[in-house]
Structure 1
Amino acid sequence: MERIKKHIKEHKHKYILGMPIFILIGLLGSAIIEQLAPPRTTLSLVTHAGEFTPDKPIVAEIRMKTPGSVNVVAGTLVFPADQLEVSSISKENSILNIWVEEPKFSNASGTISFAGGIISSTGFIGEGKILEITFNPKKEGSIRIDFIEASVLAHDGKGTPVLQEKIGTMYFVRTQKLPSPDVNGDWKITASDMRAVILSLGSSDLRYDLNGDGRVSWADVTIVFTLMMKG
């Protein structure tokens, strides 16, 4: 044991330098495993990649993905009312065609709720939009929006609950003009963007200095990775 401790102490700088790489490999491995996993029924809050400022609206969609037939969807989301407000909710092009509870929001309590169904002899299978929500940021900071309640019921005559995962999102709102995490300009955050930032680690290339600290570091890689995982 003492020999192990001595070895770690003598080579601790190597472990420190190598740790981000091991973390990145672990995160990428988890993402690959997730991609290979069987299809799941999910409810997600999805936003197109972009740079958000207090004067720029954020347009998001609540989306459902399901490998099996379903016909009822409901949910409640919460957001920090001191950082964000809802300006509108749209049902246009929703896969739901009947509403048990009309979509509603409260900027006082920071909540959004809805409940609806799909009138169809076959129910719904696949991926589609439930609602479109327009948010207005009030100030800078990290803003987290999550589902506190959600349900998806199978089109099986029994209303079997089938929802396996509900996925919220996080926004980074800032007034300082910084480079977009979409470093290759293809309007989406992918592994290609993360690779470009990794290849510039240690440099002062302002194109990849996403947090504005004057250098390209693992903090910038983390920004891209977080947004990439949020889809």
Structure 2
Amino acid sequence: MSKPFRIAVFASGSGSNFQAIADAVKAGKLDVRIELLVCDRPQALVVERANNAGVPVHTFRPKEYPSREAYELDILEILRSKHIDLVVLAGYMRILTPVLVDAYWGRMINVHPSLLPSFPGLHAVRQALEHGVKLTGITVHLVDGGLDSGPILAQRALEIRQDDTEASLSERIHPLEHELLPQVIQQIATGQIDLDHITNLKPKDGIQS
């Protein structure tokens, strides 16, 4: 019997992407075990979602630590104790340090609401609207320590409407995230996406912010 593919999800807010992953697991569309939710906001809705899904939760308050590295060392110890195969950043709003990035290089992915390399960083939907582009979308990529600069694993495009606002466009982007992120996780878990091959092609410190 093969061992389960273990993932940890990092999120800071409502957790709609976490819920999409949990729902895909429950529906048998995603053959992984969610071993942990990591959240930097103990009162966030995603914590309630994880509790309802029976997923263990690690919450913390960054201000209670002397540095980012300090709380990431705590998180790293937990990840290793649970033998996590893949870290999934799903709306996690904190800057990562080399403590986690180096430890999980090639085994950490992020979902970003733009067609990278366009509009990295914060407020990607707003950036797309301000630049007047006709097409945006989402990207799932490896985390390499730069600003949304890691190797791209998958993308989905979405046409921007003339009457779109930041709120309306964000609302239309979310379903794409909820569909694509679980699919990419499944492809990684089953070997359809070979992360070892991809990481061998691109050095970790290739493109930095």
Q: TM-score, normalised by structure 1?
A: 0.26
* Higher relative contact order, structure no. (Cα contacts within 8 Å, ≥ 6 residues apart): 1
User: Larger % of helix: which?
Assistant: 2
Q: TM-score, normalised by structure 2?
A: 0.28
User: Larger % of strand: which?
Assistant: 1
